Amino acid sequence: MSHNKQAESYLWDMRQAARDVVELMRGIKFHEFEKNKTLRLAVERLLTIIGEVASHISPQYRTQHPEVEWKIFIGFRNVLAHEYGETLLNRVWLAAAEAVPELLAALLKLLPDDE
C-alpha cells in the first residue's frame, strides 16, 4: 500500500472514531457524562483508538499537516492506556467535548466525505 493510501486509511479510521465521539457527546452535559459509566468507557475507547491510529501515521505526514494536534491525541492515548489509576474525568470530558470536534473538522479537510 502506498504511503498516501495508508495515511488515508488511518485518517478514515480517525475520522470515524471522532464522528462517533461527537455523536455520543451530542447534548451531553458534564454531570450526565460523569454519571454514565457506559458512555465514559465508550468515549475513552474511541479516544484510545484515535491516538493509536495517529501514532501509526508517518512522522513526515504529521509534520506536513500541523493543523491536526497529533501529539496531543497520541499522548492522551498513552495516558488512557497506561494510567491504571483513576483517569481524570475532566480531561476525558474536555478531549471529547472540545478537542475531538476540532479534530473532526481538521480531518474532514484532509479527507472529505466523498473520498
pLDDT of residue 4: 75
From the number of C-beta atoms within 10 Å of its C-beta (0-12, 13-18, 19+), residue 27 rates as: exposed
DSSP 12-28: HHHHHHHHHHHHHHTT-
From the number of C-beta atoms within 10 Å of its C-beta (0-12, 13-18, 19+), residue 79 rates as: middle
Q: Which of 15, 26, 82, 91 is catalytic?
A: 82
Percent of the chain having pLDDT more than 70?
Answer: 92
Question: Does pLDDT of 17 surpass 90?
Answer: yes
Q: Does residue 82 carry a catalytic annotation?
A: yes
What's the CA gap between 76 and 54, in Å, rounded?
11
Q: Which of 19, 45, 77, 91 is catalytic?
A: 77
pTM of the predicted protein model? 0.90
pLDDT band at 58 (very low <50, low <70, confident <90, very high): very high
Q: Using one digit for the tens of pLDDT, what is the confidence trace for 72-106? A: 999 999 888 887 555 688 899 999 999 999 999 99
Residue that wins the pLDDT comparison between 80 and 21: 21
